[in-house]
Structure 1
């Protein structure tokens, strides 16, 4: 029996979608990250019970941090993206969090710049608060050790433990995909990591491409994130909103899984990769439910493209990116000052 709802909500369910595609479906994935981070900070004496924890979020992390604060007797202050809807905001406020939401923005960069600026103002005004730095502090990797153990156990129980594995998911802050793959690689370095990005994200060099609706995807960034370790990724896919929407609608229609837009993008990518590497099990990350995408995605399901007919353009370098879907072999290389370094070991 769980002592708090946060622990119960954090537990994912693994669902087999095809012979070599498994979905790991979370209620809210970043609860693992938030719980482990707050617990580590308390144990180290860096924060104390009753102190205010501060961070910026587009939704998933905000709820996760609010739940972790509720669990450990902390206060919570969120600088929220324009994409945080009334349902999420009400939930945060009832949980005891104070919420500031930036004004509506035309693009991802403006939204994130405003949030970063407000966080800096609050830190100057309130020296008693602790900034969680979900985008930059490696403490947010810690929680995914438990997820890696669960994945290993469940795949083995399903008779899939002896097969090579690939993790497929939205990059976002970098902690979830990087943390999960990193802990899995402690036992098997051949685990592949396939990252998914929206166009317009600076993280893997697509900032010159504009996809206005990508602001709701929550898988990219207009600013550099210190928690993204580029050298962990074997493959990268860049997906526009219409393709991510196609993946989300197909996942619900064919498998009855109601999940967010980043999951739709990962589902589309995971299926494409799995067809080309049938011996490998592809673990697709479903980071949250689809509730905040009802109006923008699921209510428009009749407009969705047929995901079965979609395919990426294969490129050799981010400079060759082509919308609406591009893919390349990243080969665990680093990304410095907008340029790739030499390739890592072949896998």
Structure 2
């Protein structure tokens, strides 16, 4: 039988608060200072592993950080008037963050989503006071994501004082993650590689920019999903939520990435479930995809390398998808153990990928058109 020793009491009362999270008067104070956990064998090969930043320890996940930051910045600029409605498109996690910001700063919140949102998320958002609107038809080109954005435009017209964070193009979405990067530096000291999922581009750009400033040789790996257009692949059906996109987010900092990996849904499910069994720290689609790539990278870098993987959320919202056998069987996601290495392509446009694939060439698919997009011109 294992016996766990009782920790020795601090010799001075002040030491009791050294590692404690201080009391807070507002729910916003619950966000940040999330833990870092070592992910080694048996998930990773013997002698290798990586550090996982567990953003699921925030009340709603990693996007609590950006929701609070974007709302506060908009209030300070006068873009968001006191008591005005917040309207945004989301697949879930940002919605929880905006609900938190709405409670904190006194704003009604409307989130626009699609039928792919889990019933658990819809229930939570409603419980936290958000108005949840679900679009019923995908856009013929931009899919569900574009359909949601069009509904947001309709709502903004209906509520003249309403404000939309526009997480895909709002630079505050990037700036919000500076504190997370500083937490990592304080927790680990040196960081040699960062593995991060890419959706809106906010947390990859925000964390990566700060870390590259401290560690110029940082190796940065972007993780996308098959069927996503972000890194130059054609749009396709995407089962995974939280990473990937069918539009081109303006916040993606392509110049930061040294390589990109596309991961398929079945491969993400395998990794998320393996993490749960091995380390009792897991999450959904993004966590599984990021962990799979970080595991591979850890086996190829020097043993002393410090690799950080960002886990954007926890497992709770995925009990009916990633961790549900009936759901996974119906989508053909089980019994697909990943191969040891990804396939390789030399350029994102070389061919359409359908399984875990790696590319060392990272390009902005819009090229010169990016400037027009960022200034609001129609492409």
Q: TM-score, normalised by structure 1?
A: 0.88
Alignment equivalent of 1:93, drawn from 114, 126, 135 = 126
Alignment equivalent of 1:291, drawn from 295, 316, 319 = 316
| Partner SS, residue 221 of structure 2 | strand
Alignment equivalent of 1:223, drawn from 247, 252, 259 = 247
Q: TM-score, normalised by structure 2?
A: 0.81
Residues in 2 aligned to 1:87 and 1:215: alpha-carbon distance in whole angstroms: 17
Mark the CA change 1:201 to 1:90 in structure 2 (over 3 Å): closer, same or farther. Answer: same
**Greater share of residues in strand:** 1
- Measured after TM superposition, the shift of residue 76 of structure 1 is 1.0
Decide whether the 8 Å contact of 1:59 with 1:83 is kept in 2. Answer: no
Decide whether the 8 Å contact of 1:230 with 1:335 is kept in 2. Answer: no
Residues in 1 aligned to 2:163 and 2:74: alpha-carbon distance in whole angstroms: 10
Q: Which residue of 2 aligns with 1:280?
A: 305
- Measured after TM superposition, the shift of residue 83 of structure 1 is 2.2
Decide whether the 8 Å contact of 2:192 with 2:305 is kept in 1. Answer: yes
Q: Which residue of 2 aligns with 1:344?
A: none
Q: RMSD of aligned C-alpha atoms? A: 2.3
Alignment equivalent of 2:343, drawn from 289, 294, 313 = 313
Residues in 1 aligned to 2:160 and 2:53: alpha-carbon distance in whole angstroms: 39
Residues in 1 aligned to 2:165 and 2:139: alpha-carbon distance in whole angstroms: 27
Decide whether the 8 Å contact of 2:348 with 2:361 is kept in 1. Answer: no
- Measured after TM superposition, the shift of residue 338 of structure 1 is 10
Q: Which residue of 2 aligns with 1:166?
A: 193
Residues in 2 aligned to 1:111 and 1:231: alpha-carbon distance in whole angstroms: 28
| Partner SS, residue 130 of structure 1 | coil
Matched, 1:188 2:215: yes
* Structure-to-structure mapping, 1:189-204, within 5 angstroms: 189-204=216-231
Q: Which residue of 2 aligns with 1:345?
A: none
| Partner SS, residue 82 of structure 1 | coil
Task: Give the number of the structure whose alpha-carbon radius of gyration is greater.
Answer: 2
Mark the CA change 1:101 to 1:54 in structure 2 (over 3 Å): closer, same or farther. Answer: same
Mark the CA change 1:99 to 1:217 in structure 2 (over 3 Å): closer, same or farther. Answer: closer
Mark the CA change 1:291 to 1:104 in structure 2 (over 3 Å): closer, same or farther. Answer: farther
| Partner SS, residue 215 of structure 1 | coil
Unpaired runs of 5+ in structure 1?
340-347
